[in-house]
Amino acid sequence: MQLYNTLSAKEREALIDEAGQDRLTISFYKYAHIGNPGLFRDYLFIHWDALEVLGRIYVAREGINAQLSVPAVNFGAFKEHLDSITFLEGVRLNIAIEQDNKSFLKLKIKVRPKIVADGLDDGSFDVTNKGVHVDARRFNELIEDPEAIVVDMRNHYESEIGHFENAITPDVDTFRDSLDLIEEQLRDHKEDKKLVMYCTGGIRCEKASAYYKHKGFKQVYQLEGGIIEYTRQVQKESLENKFHGKNFVFDNRRGERITDEVIARCHQCGEPADTHTNCANEGCHLLFIQCDACAAEMDGCCSDACKDIVALPPEERKKLRKGKFNSNRIFKKGRSEVLTYKRQVPDPFSPVAGDKDPAGAS
């Protein structure tokens, strides 16, 4: 019985083109107690592969975190299958603002220690004692509240291309980096300020809200459904949109445009740009922001060295990669020394330009 992906990305692309069917890009998560994650993983693969689901799904004893795409014609069957699983019945599905039939090209379901790497000892606090969930309308009110501190729980390369007004955007590489940093910087406001958090789809805030309540924060709020659900509600209810730029997403699209504003800059020339790309040199694969002009000049590469490698015949490139690993370099995400445009690095815990300070003063 097939329990893993057998097609290459190119083969899958060809099948998607041949099918000519629209696909929906969806994300969801659920914290729950899963006794045998490996068995549950195989169960999902069997059923979802039959429905032509593609995506990246993490399963752990603490629950499931899924980003995937499914043919629109199979959505009903997919939802019916989710509802047949007790703890996933009625789970909120975040449907992408911008659709792309090739957002995912493989079905990967992996068993992990956690569904989000947070570095926390969950046994030390009550993970179910979460903060107050708020909708888009209430979140807009909190953004303007001088007694509220709005914090972006995402990483620097996410908030760089898009964020909310008045939000503090910690200059961190990982979610786990942000947790202690936020507590330290806001330690004097645990009782007198509202801590208001947001992330892409809500999963990071779900754990963080319980953690910060454990750490003594008295008023903890989180944007339910994250930026994705916020955007849907804003459009549906004709609310003021207080998000600027793009929402970074973890699939082949790499971003959903929420507004027409371009608030980031090309990491190579400094011109306005907010399109993330991976270096075309497969031995590098660095994630960075590149404008169209630099993409053409550099052949989609991050440096002249990588450009020279990409110009080599495929067999030569393969020889250069043999026995070598990307290591952690690919996780620099715009911080690499090879990127010629040097951004002025802000204070690691400061509001975006022109916004209110961490203490909430206007």
Bridge partners of residue 198, in order along the sequence: 152
Question: Which long-range contacts (C-beta less than 8 Å, at least 24 apart) are formed by 76-82?
Answer: 77/51, 78/48, 78/51, 78/53, 81/47, 81/48, 81/51
Structure tokens belonging to residue 361 = 């003063």
The rounded radius of gyration (Å) of the Cα atoms in the chain is 21
Q: Confirm whether 306 is a catalytic residue.
A: no
Question: CB neighbours of 219 closer than 8 A, spacing ≥ 6?
Answer: 193, 194, 195
Which of 273, 244, 241 lies closest to 353, judged by CA? 244
Separation CA 307–CA 300 (nearest Å): 8
How far apart are the two ends of the chain, measured CA to CA in Å?
Answer: 61
Q: Answer yes or no: are the C-beta atoms of 227 and 247 closer than 8 Å.
A: yes
Strand bridging mode 219-223 / 132-134: parallel
Which of 146, 140, 68, 79 lies closest to 109, judged by CA? 68
Name the active-site residue from 199, 205, 284, 301. 199
Hey, which residues are catalytic here?
199
